[in-house]
Structure 1
Amino acid sequence: MEGDELTELAARYTASGLAGDMPSDMAEAMLRGMLRASQILDPGSGRETPLLEMIEQLGQADEA
């Protein structure tokens, strides 16, 4: 997700009232942190793997 997309998402989040009294820049920082936390570094490839993709891969390995 690009910076502009994240800024727009934060603006919509705060405008919706879901953020309560949280300012848009704080909501953007929170969303950025959540985005980073949802990714895990894949040591084999050096790229970040989304957490859901990692969980799916683990599930497929368990089935094999």
Structure 2
Amino acid sequence: MKPIVDILGFKTEEAINALNILGYEVIIKESYGKNTTKSNDSRIIRQRLVSKNEMELIISFF
């Protein structure tokens, strides 16, 4: 069984790299607040194990 790591708050690129090393396929979904514009600084605000090999990440821009 693969370990489930807590990556909340991580920069998106760092989180994806960590999960790929552990053998997860990553699904990215973006979330925008009312006053949020897309920038280069995105972070993980939610993670969910979809299957034993897939992790869904919800990212937001800051």
- Pick the structure with more helix per residue: 1
Would the TM-score normalized by the shorter structure come out above 0.5? no
- TM-score, L = length of structure 1: 0.29
- TM-score, L = length of structure 2: 0.30
The structure with more radius of gyration:
1
- Pick the structure with more strand per residue: 2
